[in-house]
């Protein structure tokens, strides 16, 4: 007779032996729990002064090892940081001048923005949020195209398939599921595409965050969930969103590995994300990376940050500025010299200047195009409405012509 205690029960079997997490943890000589839980402290490689943290104090350990990227990659990251900061501040100014409808700035979060783009291969995908303009630009999308929707237009400006970047939009965490689907389709075809799925701290409260992480873990697809914890969801602090030990701790509940990294440390962010992308690709499994950072400016220009946080807190984070830290580190290592720094600044100015010019020009949009893409072929009703608007526009043009 079968002993009911020892009879295997597939319906309640713990996903352990033979699972990808089990195999991965065994390869590092640690338990699955040790692998899935974040390291004892945030991964940090540069201190707030930009000095290299001694390797035994970086927070790394078996299964949580993050090699420092090569000098060439670090220099590229620095150039993208400088350009990102310039883009953030230029766009912020353009909104104040009334040339942009809105801009959610990532000033202060540029290390996360750049890391997200630089950790991926050209064949990989990125699913950004509305605050990830700098990531999308760092991925190679033309800044002018990225800014189209913020200018007040009705479309996202760039071709998501050409750049392998999801369309930025405002619903929270819905795009994480799109990331899972893209990865799943690739996996079914035998492609090793990694997808980076981005969201903020507030968004981790949304139901789709849970569904996306669970689907990714169950489907065993290579998605790296990248949470930029910038402290606030508009005005609500993280403490009101979650009382988990950290957002990275949420990973273990889904059977995936989580890591927490200093989000204002360009070296650590890039090292952690590159390792996560590598592991996701090698093992076809998802990972969660939480970057602890800070939104230095208001949520958007329509927001008044003085109502929910004090100046001193902002000043404290100013001292951890990712740009300054990276510049000091690269200079002290001899990777960045004055000539290179000048070139990088000049390139960033060029981008800012092209943004100023483009956003000052009136967009030459055809209002009738709003009917053209709703369906592959417009319905009879849409064609009738298009004709109606066309007629209205022509009558307006005629009466304006008569008045002149």
Catalytic residues: 295, 299, 308
Please state at what angle helix 110-118 crosses helix 71-96, rounded to 10 degrees: 130
Is residue 395 at the binding interface for another protein, with CB under 8 A as the rule? no
Contacts of 94 (CB under 8 A, 6+ apart): 100, 103, 355, 356, 359
Site mask for another protein (CB under 8 A), range 142-161, x = bound: ------------xxx--xxx
Q: How far apart are CA 16 and CA 29, in angstroms?
A: 15
Is residue 180 at the binding interface for another protein, with CB under 8 A as the rule? yes
For another protein, give the closer residue by CB, 92 or 130.
130
Interacting residue with another protein among 14, 366, 376, 404 (CB under 8 A):
376
Least distance CB 144 / another protein (angstroms): 15
For another protein, give the closer residue by CB, 50 or 166.
166
Cβ atoms of 129 and 199 within 8 Å: the answer is yes
Least distance CB 116 / another protein (angstroms): 18
Considering Cα of 15, then 21, then 24, then 25, what sign does the dihedral take?
negative
Least distance CB 374 / another protein (angstroms): 5
Least distance CB 98 / another protein (angstroms): 24
Least distance CB 192 / another protein (angstroms): 13
User: What count of other Cβ atoms lies within 10 Å of the Cβ of residue 362?
Assistant: 5
Is residue 294 at the binding interface for another protein, with CB under 8 A as the rule? no
Secondary structure letter of residue 19 according to DSSP? S
Site for another protein in 185-204 (CB under 8 A): 185-186, 188-189
Contacts of 55 (CB under 8 A, 6+ apart): none
For another protein, give the closer residue by CB, 339 or 377.
377
Site mask for another protein (CB under 8 A), range 12-51, x = bound: ----------------------------------------
As given in the structure block, the two tokens for residue 145 are 């195209």
Secondary structure letter of residue 367 according to DSSP? G
Site for another protein in 218-237 (CB under 8 A): 218
As given in the structure block, the two tokens for residue 230 are 């910038």
Q: Is 66 left (phi over 0), alpha (psi -120 to 50) or beta?
A: beta
Exposure on the CB side of residue 382, measured as CA atoms within 13 A: 12
Q: Applying CB under 8 A, which residues contact another protein?
A: 125, 154-156, 159-162, 166-167, 169, 171, 174, 176-186, 188-189, 207-208, 211-212, 214-215, 218, 369, 372-377, 379-381
């Amino acid at each position: 007779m079968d002993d009911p205690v020892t009879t295997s029960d597939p319906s309640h079997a713990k996903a352990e032996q033979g699972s990808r997490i089990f195999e991965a943890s065994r390869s590092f000589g640690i338990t699955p729990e040790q692998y899935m839980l974040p390291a004892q402290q945030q991964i940090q490689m540069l201190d707030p002064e930009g000095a290299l943290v001694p390797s035994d104090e970086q927070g790394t350990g078996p299964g949580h090892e993050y090699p420092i990227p090569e000098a060439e990659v670090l220099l590229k990251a620095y150039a993208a940081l400088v350009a990102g900061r310039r883009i953030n501040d230029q766009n912020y100014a353009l909104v104040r001048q009334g040339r942009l409808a809105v801009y959610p700035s990532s000033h202060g979060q540029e290390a996360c923005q750049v890391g997200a783009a630089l950790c991926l291969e050209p064949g990989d995908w990125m699913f950004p949020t509305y605050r990830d303009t700098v990531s999308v630009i760092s991925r190679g999308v033309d800044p002018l195209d990225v800014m189209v929707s913020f200018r007040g237009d009705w479309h996202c400006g760039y071709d998501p398939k050409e750049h392998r970047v999801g369309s930025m939009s405002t619903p929270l965490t819905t795009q994480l599921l799109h990331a899972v689907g893209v990865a799943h389709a690739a996996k079914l075809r035998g492609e090793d595409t990694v997808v980076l799925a981005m969201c903020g701290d507030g968004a981790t409260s949304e139901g789709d965050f849970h569904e996306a992480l669970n689907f990714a873990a169950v489907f065993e697809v290579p998605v790296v969930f990248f949470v930029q914890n910038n402290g606030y969801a508009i005005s609500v602090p993280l403490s009101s969103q979650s009382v988990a030990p950290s957002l990275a701790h949420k990973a273990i509940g889904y059977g995936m590995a989580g890591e927490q990294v200093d989000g204002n440390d360009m070296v650590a962010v890039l090292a952690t994300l590159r390792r996560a992308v590598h592991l996701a690709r090698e093992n076809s499994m998802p990972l969660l990376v939480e970057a602890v950072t800070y939104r230095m400016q208001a949520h958007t220009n329509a927001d008044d940050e003085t109502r929910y946080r004090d100046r001193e807190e902002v000043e404290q984070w100013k001292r951890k500025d990712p740009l300054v830290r990276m510049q000091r580190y690269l200079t002290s290592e001899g990777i960045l010299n004055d000539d290179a720094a000048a070139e990088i600044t000049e390139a960033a100015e060029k981008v800012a200047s092209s943004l100023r010019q483009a956003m000052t020009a009136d967009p030459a949009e055809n209002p009738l195009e709003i009917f053209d893409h709703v369906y592959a072929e417009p319905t009879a009703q849409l064609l009738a409405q298009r004709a109606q608007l066309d007629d209205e526009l022509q009558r307006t043009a005629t009466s304006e012509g008569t008045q002149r």
